């Protein structure tokens, strides 16, 4: 089986190719020569993941899957959520996003949050969604240097290290994305 993963993120590709080696061939956007800007105009993770997968199907004709992830913070009614990558503005970096988050949560006792990943799959004319989430809390200051995005401020439940202190190997066993990816791979391998 051959399927497109609507991403050029090397880490995501490496992770899924490792699990599916010899069974499913995963093509990236550059493998199919997609240089277009894929729309991410949805207001939910589900909508954005589907938009991306549908764009590839409509434009290139391939069966495809796409993912979208957000950090949902209880005390902020689920914000930044679908806007996680540009929480502090269009031209912001992860440090700006974390600084804004810590600022918004200043003085708040409820620090509960979760990372949630949705993967949308378009296969043989059918649509399916796979979800993974990990619960935790936002600590008061950044800790650790591994990972990316909000990792230095996210403490997963049951751990005393942030995602950025755990390191990639440990994080990738328990993460939101790993959970959603396992569900997707299980489905693909059973079809």
Residues in touch with ligand IMP (CB under 6 A): 68-71, 84-85, 97, 115, 147-151, 163, 175
Rounded Cα distance between 140 and 154, Å, is 10
Nearest to 122 by CA among 30, 60, 33: 60
Smallest distance from ligand IMP to CB 31, Å: 19
Nearest to 119 by CA among 37, 180, 70: 180
Active site residues per annotation: 68
Smallest distance from ligand IMP to CB 190, Å: 25
Nearer to ligand IMP, 20 or 175 (CB): 175
Smallest distance from ligand IMP to CB 1, Å: 24
Smallest distance from ligand IMP to CB 177, Å: 6
Q: E strands of the chain, at which residues? A: 2-5, 25-27, 64-73, 80-81, 112-123, 126-138, 154-156
Query: Helices 176-189 & 10-20, crossing angle to 10 degrees?
Result: 40
Instruction: Using CB positions, name the residue nearest to ligand IMP.
Output: 149
Smallest distance from ligand IMP to CB 142, Å: 12
Long-range contacts of 48-56 (CB under 8 A, 24+ apart): 48/82, 49/118, 49/119, 49/120, 49/129, 50/120, 50/127, 50/129, 52/6, 52/120, 53/6, 53/120, 53/121, 53/122, 54/122, 55/6, 56/4, 56/6, 56/29, 56/32
């Amino acid at each position: 089986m051959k399927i497109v993963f609507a991403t050029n993120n090397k880490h995501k590709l490496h992770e899924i190719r490792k699990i599916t080696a010899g069974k499913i061939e995963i093509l990236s956007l550059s493998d199919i020569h997609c240089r277009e800007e894929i729309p991410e105009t949805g207001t939910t993770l589900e909508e954005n993941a589907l938009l991306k997968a549908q764009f590839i199907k409509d434009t290139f004709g391939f069966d495809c899957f796409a993912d979208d992830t957000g950090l949902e913070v209880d005390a902020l009614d689920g914000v930044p959520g679908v806007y996680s990558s540009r929480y502090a503005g269009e031209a912001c970096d992860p440090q700006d996003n974390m600084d804004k988050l810590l600022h918004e949560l200043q003085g708040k006792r409820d620090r509960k949050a979760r990372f949630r990943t949705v993967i949308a799959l378009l296969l043989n004319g059918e649509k399916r969604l796979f979800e993974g989430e990990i619960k935790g809390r936002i600590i008061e200051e950044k800790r650790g240097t591994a990972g990316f995005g909000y990792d230095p401020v996210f403490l997963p439940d049951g751990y005393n290290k942030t995602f950025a202190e755990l390191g990639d190997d440990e994080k990738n066993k328990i993460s939101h994305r790993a959970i959603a990816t396992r569900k997707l791979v299980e489905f693909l391998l059973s079809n």
